[in-house]
Amino acid sequence: MSQLNIKPVTGNIGAEIEDIDLSAGVDGTARDDLVQALWAHQVLFFHDQEIDIERQKQITKIFGPLQRLPYVEPISDEPFVIGVHKKATDRKVAVFGGNWHSDFSFLEHPPAGSLLSAVEVPEVGGDTVWSNQITAYETLPDDLKAVVDGRDAIHVGKPHGVKFAPKGNQRSTVKMVRGDPEADRETFHPAVRAHPETGRKALFVNPVYTSRLDGMSEAESAPILDRLFWHATRPEFSCRHRWRAGDLVVWDNRTTLHFAVNDYDGFDRLLYRTTFSDDQPPHS
Ligand code: SIN
């Protein structure tokens, strides 16, 4: 029985953890409870936390070893920390994570999950939205289930490569590598993956990195992927977070999609981001 005060925020995904002070460190039982709560609710929200980067790294390690992300510049002297920053003067630019995705799904070992802590938030806008991919899989129409069950999907580092390079001025708020042919390499992952801790099956495709389905060309895959993406991001599978300074959020990257809403030109927004690994490729 968990000792945590857990308040679900929707009928499908996300829970607030109340009455916990993460700045003081977390002991053995509470650590296990937090891990179980994450697997159960997929996204956890903590408010009014006074934590520095060192503490955030320690909290991250409750869920798995720190993972360094490629293609994205970390903050100085902190290889495991990204500053997700948009300045008030950054107008009409792409934000980091601005479309539905599972983090770095094109890697052989995609991250198990991530944490964001809010340092500076806009007066309005700048929310983050997550969607539950276990529910997405469980409610998939039968014809789509027949396509994805037992099949791999192919993932490519599109924003960082050559073949799918975004057109036009793609000035982003976070410094990242663009135009690296190595990022065009195809990585095969099961389109339906089993969670390594719970065994629950989740749909594992996303519009940012999934290029096609195994055994099909990109053109053949496109209409099927469009239907999968539409279903995967249905509003009733999602929760939306309105940030306050001092919030800390952790999510399971294996069973969720997420994106940052880019609707706050003229305001500063700074979140620190850490990532944890499960040291294994996705499996079905
Ligand atoms: C991300 O990690 O994809 C960015 C999320 C956010 O800035 O809200």
Q: How confident is the model at residue 169 (pLDDT cuts 50, 70, 90)?
A: low
Nearest CA to ligand 1 atom 2: 97
Is 73 a member of any domain? yes
Q: How confident is the model at residue 70 (pLDDT cuts 50, 70, 90)?
A: very high
Percent above pLDDT 90 for the chain? 86
Average pLDDT value over all residues in the chain = 95
Per-residue exposure over 97-115, b if at least 16 CB sit within 10 Å of its own CB, e if not: bbebbbbbbbbeebbbbbb
Please state the atom number of ligand 1 nearest to the C-alpha of residue 103: 3
CATH classification of the domain holding 153: 3.60.130.10
Rounded Cα distance, 54 and 131, in Å: 29
Q: Which domain holds residue 54?
A: 5-276
Q: How confident is the model at residue 208 (pLDDT cuts 50, 70, 90)?
A: very high
Is 39 a member of any domain? yes
Mean pLDDT of 28-57: 96
DSSP 85-100: EE-TT--S-BPTT-SS
Please state the atom number of ligand 1 nearest to the C-alpha of residue 127: 8
Is 231 a member of any domain? yes
Is 220 a member of any domain? yes
* Residue 168: predicted pLDDT: 65
Is 184 a member of any domain? yes
Q: Please tell me the distance between residue 126's alpha carbon and the centre of ligand 1 in angstroms.
A: 10
3-state class of 206 per DSSP? Answer: coil
Q: How confident is the model at residue 15 (pLDDT cuts 50, 70, 90)?
A: very high
Q: Which of 20-29, 33-42, 45-54, 103-112 has the lowest mean pLDDT?
A: 20-29
Is 170 a member of any domain? yes
Nearest CA to ligand 1 atom 5: 260
Q: Please tell me the distance between residue 125's alpha carbon and the centre of ligand 1 in angstroms.
A: 13
* Residue 110: predicted pLDDT: 97
97 lines ligand 1 (CB under 6 A): yes
Q: Please tell me the distance between residue 97's alpha carbon and the centre of ligand 1 in angstroms.
A: 5
Is 281 a member of any domain? no
Pick from 186, 182, 192, 178: nearest CA to 217: 186
Nearest CA to ligand 1 atom 6: 260
257 lines ligand 1 (CB under 6 A): no
Q: How many CA atoms lie within 13 A of 247 on its CB side?
A: 20
Q: How confident is the model at residue 170 (pLDDT cuts 50, 70, 90)?
A: low
Domain count across the chain: 1
Percent above pLDDT 70 for the chain? 99
DSSP 123-136: SS---EEEEEHHHH
Q: How confident is the model at residue 112 (pLDDT cuts 50, 70, 90)?
A: very high
* Residue 176: predicted pLDDT: 86
Is 282 a member of any domain? no
Mean pLDDT of 25-46: 95
